[in-house]
Amino acid sequence: MKTYKNWKFKKTKLNGVFEVTQTEFKDFRGKYIEIYNKEFFTKKKKKINFVQDDISISKKNVLRGIHGDNKTWKLIRCIFGKILLVVVNNNPKASQYLKSQTFIVSDDNRKSILIPPKFGNGHLVLSKMCIFHYKQTTYYNFKSQFTLKWNDKRLKIKWPIKKPILSKRDT
């Protein structure tokens, strides 16, 4: 059975970024959601080969800054809770350089966001707690990453908070 037949793969306003939505199976026991299917992603994006999965758990008002690198594709979702996800184009050669888009990603809406290399992402936790999951096509390497300041005026991001909880890296 090819369970990915009900998945939706939708372009966003940022070139190369996609919103991926899966349907859920629901019955008296609860829900079942397929969150990744290699066959589906191979059909849509042949170059993508995920090698690492990561999870972060954060409380309300934590803002995890805008980070990325020049090689990694990421598939992001919120397994539990609700976040405001921001994606920023950080490719100086692109016509959309420093353009951003925001998404509400939650366990209820089942959205995943597929982010290409040269884009950064950051998120603000809107729920009491969230579990944030992402797949990567390269192994994590701090030295190869860029950081964009969450409140950089050039980005024109409208965060719904003035004083988020930040790490040293993101202040």
Which of the 8 DSSP states describes residue 38? H
Q: Which entry of 4, 123, 133, 134 is annotated as an active-site residue?
A: 134
**In angstroms, how far is CA 170 from the centroid of its own chain?**
17
Please confirm, yes or no, whether 67 is among the known catalytic residues. Answer: yes
Please confirm, yes or no, whether 134 is among the known catalytic residues. Answer: yes
Q: Which entry of 4, 36, 67, 97 is annotated as an active-site residue?
A: 67
- Give me the amino acid identity at 121: N
Under 8 Å between Cβ of 60 and 84: no
44 torsion bin: left (phi>0), alpha (psi -120 to 50), beta (else): alpha
What's the rounded Cα separation, in Å, for the pair 55 and 57? 7
Catalytic residues: 67, 134
